[in-house]
Each structure stands twice: as C-alpha cells, then as structure tokens.
Amino acid sequence: MSIEKRIIARELWLAAARPGDIVKPIWFLLLVISMVPLALTPDSELLAEIGSAMIWIATLLALLLNSEHFFQSDFSDGVLEQWLFFDRPLAWLVGLKLTAHWLLHVLPLILISPVIALTLSVPGDVSIALFITMLVATPALTCFSGLGAALTLGSSRSGILGVLVMMPLFVPVVVLASGVLIRAMDGSETLPLLALLGAFSVASAVLVPIAVSLAIRVNIGGSN
C-alpha cells in the first residue's frame, strides 16, 4: 500500500471504530434545528425566512464540535510524529487527513441539509443555494479548524482555544455565505459570491496544510 492509501485507510478504520464521531455532529444539528420552531415560533413564513441561516449556523457549530480534537489523540499516542518519518512532505499527509475528515465528518452534514431545510419550510431554490454554499464553504472551514487544532496541540484543554484562535478566519466565510443566502432569497445573482467562497476554499486547501504541518512540527519539537 502506498503511504497515501495508508493515511486514507486509517481514517476509514478510525471512522468505523468510532462511529460516534460521525453521528454526534448530525445528532447535534438535528437537535438544534428541532429546537428552533419550539423556542421561536412555529410560524412557517418566519421559519422559511430565517431557516437557511439557522441551518448554516448549526452546521458551523456541529463542524467545530468534531474538529476540536482533530490531531490530539494521534499526537498524544505518538502516531503523528511517526508521519514525519514517512517519505512524504508532512503538509501533503495533513492535506489527505483534512480531505478524509471533510468527506467522513462534514459531507454527511451537507447531504442532510436539504432535508432539514424542508422541515423548516425553506423554499426550494434557497435550500439549493444553501446546499451549494455549504459544499463550497466547508472545505475552508474544515481547514481553519484543523489549523486551530494544530496550533493548540501542546496545550491541555485545547478544544475551545483552537476555535477562538481561528474565529477571525471563520468570519469572512460566514459573511459571504450569508450574502449568498440573502441573494438567493431575493432571487438575485449568487454566482459572484459563490465564486469568492470557492476561491477562499481553494486557497485555504492549498495553504493551510502547510501551516498545519509547521504547527505540528513546532509542537512535536517542544514536547517530550
């Protein structure tokens, strides 16, 4: 097996061994969304208006929920430092791990979002826009939360710290995404904003693994 296959395969084995990691964010998303009509109002017109934004925020939080321990267990049991001995750049391996994480833990959230949108009576075209926005924006968010996790590897109780460190990077993505949703509701052109979001994701997919690998190196170098 090539090194790439081994990295991807391990993520699959881990996902099979810890199914809770996949189910937990989905459960969280469903729970938050089911609370919205209860806490706010069951008025379907209002829900249709705010529904897509609610789903977007809940997805963002669900995504943060499972990325807080991104590298932690691999770091503490010493598997992560073994990656440095592989005959590949660490940034490349990190990129693979981030990709696998997105496919296994984030994509399911995106796939169920149209169904959830239906329960909040979000109009069809807005729900499609929501789906596409999430598809385009979540790679960037996954990268940023991975970077937060890598930067705070050395400190105990790093969970929330990583999220706080990365919050400024989340903001532009959230602003652009809500711009897309507002435009979709008006029926105006969403493509330019989506393109910008896509550019954000592509740029972070290229640059963030490099930053993550440097952060991991620093943290391995400073630990015993």
Partner 1 sequence: MNLKPLKLKIARLSCERDYRLLFDSLAFTLDAGSILRVAGKNGAGKTTLLRTIAGLYEIQEGEVLVGDQPVSEAMHRILYIGHRPQVTGDLSVLDNLKHLAGHDDTFLKCALESVGMLGYHDSLVKELSQGQGRRCALARLWCSDAPIWILDEPYTALDVSMIKILDNKIRSHVASGGICLFTTHQLPTLSEFQTLELGCVD
Give the binding site for partner 1 (CB under 8 A).
1-3, 6-7, 9-10, 13-14, 17-18, 73-74, 76-79, 81-82, 84-87, 220-221, 224
CB of 95 to partner 1, least distance (A): 17
DSSP state of 77: T
The smaller minimum CB distance to partner 1, of residues 156 and 188, is found at: 156
Q: Which amino acid is present at 7?
A: I
The smaller minimum CB distance to partner 1, of residues 49 and 68, is found at: 68
Residue 176 half-sphere exposure toward CB, CA atoms < 13 A: 24
Q: How far is CA 23 from CA 6, 27, 112, 216, 220, in A?
A: 24, 6, 12, 28, 31
CB of 220 to partner 1, least distance (A): 6
Residue corresponding to tokens 């590298």: 71
The smaller minimum CB distance to partner 1, of residues 127 and 219, is found at: 219
In three-state secondary structure terms, 19 is coil
CA angle 6, 9, 14 (to 5 degrees): 125
CB of 32 to partner 1, least distance (A): 28
CB of 159 to partner 1, least distance (A): 19
The smaller minimum CB distance to partner 1, of residues 41 and 73, is found at: 73
